[in-house]
Amino acid sequence: MTVLGYRIPMMFSLLAWFVVWEIVGQLDLTILIPPFSGVIAAGITMLPSQKFHDAITITMTAFLAGMGLSLLVGIPLGILMGRVKAIGQLMGMWVNIFESSPLTAVIPVLMALLGFGQATIITTVFLFSVWVIALDVQVGAKHANASLLEMGRSFGASRFALYTKILFFAALPEILAGVRLGLIRGVKGVVIGQLLVAIVGVGELFELYSRNFLMEEFWALVIMVFAFAFAISETVAYVERRIEYYASTR
């Protein structure tokens, strides 16, 4: 961000917003916006509590399981869609539909099928994240340097070696971009899943705080979820920057 020609560091602009928040909160305009200092205080008391700890554990379990599944399915699916024309045509339309559809609407159906537990939430994380991963990987696999694949074939690579030693790495920039977007969708999926199932984890906390108008705790939790999503996507973005040179020699 730049103001009057000066580059403002992101931390600084965040700080400015927090100051605005504090002022609005102190004015006591609405119960929905407590002072920022109160939110921080609530966050600090929340962090060491057993309840918070349990919520994070169950949430992370669902998130990691769902994401793991997404990567295991999304990356091979995307690679096949990118390399095998028939699969690309067969799956492409469906993956695009799912990627852009409001999947929240199917969570009740999932609950009916899988019950009110972790299975539903893991499936929600999976459904939220897998499509964007598959689509990005497809682009990467499709546009992978053709002469690298020819090189592999000319030196006698098996199909498996071609895919795992060459294609995967050639498509890695797009794979990482897909993973980054998938992770963010996954965070959304886990929270929405827990909110709708409404009995576990971070979703339960959200429900509890908002029902009882504990807005300080509520906002503290929102900030933590945001911070988590931001941190993981930045981590992937960091790796993406590290491998930028892959693309430069294409």
Partner 1 sequence: MLNTVLSARNGQASGTPEAAVQVEGIGKRYPGGVEALKDVTLDFPAGELTTLLGPSGCGKTTLLKIIAGLLDPSKGQIRVKGKQVHGPGPDRAFVFQDFALMPWATVLRNVAFGLELRGVAKAEREATARKYITEVGLTGFEQSYPHELSGGMRQRVGVARALAVDADILLMDEPFASIDEQTRRKLQEDLLQLLQIEKKTVIFVTHSIEEAVYVSDQIVLLSRRPGTVSRIIRPNLDHSTDLEAARRDKAYLDCVDEIWQTLKQYLV
By C-beta, is 116 or 169 nearer to partner 1? 169
Contacts of 57 (CB under 8 A, 6+ apart): none
91: contact with partner 1 by CB under 8 A: no
By C-beta, is 161 or 199 nearer to partner 1? 161
By C-beta, is 177 or 184 nearer to partner 1? 177
Distances 20 to 11, 13, 33, 78, 215 between C-alpha atoms, Å: 14, 11, 11, 45, 17
Separation CA 26–CA 243 (nearest Å): 47
By C-beta, is 6 or 155 nearer to partner 1? 155
Instruction: Output the six-digit token pair for 50.
Output: 């057993």
By C-beta, is 216 or 240 nearer to partner 1? 240
List the x/- string, 105-134, binding to partner 1 by CB under 8 A: ------------------------------
Q: Among 32, 161, 198, 227, which residue sits at the site for partner 1 (rule: CB under 8 A)?
A: 161
Q: Decide the pairing of beta strands 6-7 and 2-3.
A: antiparallel
Specify whether the CB–CB gap between 178 and 186 falls below 8 A: no
3-state SS record for 45-108:
HHCCCHHHHHHHHHHHHHHHHHHHHHHHHHHHHHHHHHHCHHHHHHHHHHHHHHHHCCHHHHHH
Query: Segment near partner 1 (CB under 8 A), from 17-25, 97-105, 144-152, 185-193?
Result: 144-152
Closest among 178, 149, 166 to 240, alpha carbons compared? 178
Query: Segment near partner 1 (CB under 8 A), from 6-14, 90-98, 106-114, 145-153?
Result: 145-153
Number of residues that bind partner 1 (CB under 8 A): 24
Q: Among 37, 104, 145, 233, which residue sits at the site for partner 1 (rule: CB under 8 A)?
A: 145
238: contact with partner 1 by CB under 8 A: no
153: contact with partner 1 by CB under 8 A: yes
By C-beta, is 166 or 202 nearer to partner 1? 166
Separation CA 70–CA 179 (nearest Å): 9
Specify whether the CB–CB gap between 174 and 136 falls below 8 A: yes
86: contact with partner 1 by CB under 8 A: no
- Positions in the binding site for partner 1 (CB under 8 A): 145, 147-148, 150-158, 161, 165-166, 169-170, 172, 243, 245-246, 248-250
